[in-house]
Amino acid sequence: MANVASSKPHTREKLAQELRNLGVESGDILFVHSSFKSLGPVDGGAGTVVSTLEDAVGPEGLILMPAFNLVEWDKRAKTWNIETTPSTVGWLTEFFRVRWAESICAWGVLGQDRQLAPRFRGQR
């Protein structure tokens, strides 16, 4: 999305324009496999990125991000907790998981159609 070489921090407005340039519209479903570091500096950090994604898809859209934990295979079942086990696949995914998303398994989901995703914690 953004140019890493830029030393000037990216703003919410700049990120929003870049998403529009990519064709992202209200109501879209985005599966974001990200590298926060590759964006370069962002005013407001990860919160700005996630908020901009949310604004881009609007209340009718859906944002998904992988949020799995890459611990040793034999320890996963013993140590993984859907509420507390952090994502180890990037700062943006962990920020998304903790701050906004309804973590449902090894990825997080945010948006109106999140009920379409499988539930592993039971009904709410």
pLDDT of residue 119: 45
Q: State whether residue 17 is helix, strand or coil.
A: helix
DSSP 84-113: TPPP-S-HHHHHHHHHT-EE-SSEEEEEGG
Please provide the average confidence, as pLDDT, over all residues in the chain.
79
How far apart (Å, rounded) are the C-alpha atoms in residues 101 and 68? 13
Local structure of 114: helix, strand or coil = helix
The one-character DSSP state at 7 is -
**What would the pLDDT profile of 39-57 be if each residue is shown by its tens digit?**
899 999 999 999 999 999 9
Instruction: Kindly indicate the confidence band of residue 122, based on its pLDDT and cuts at 50, 70 and 90.
Output: very low
pLDDT digits (tens, 9 = 90+) for 6-31: 578 999 999 999 999 999 999 998 98
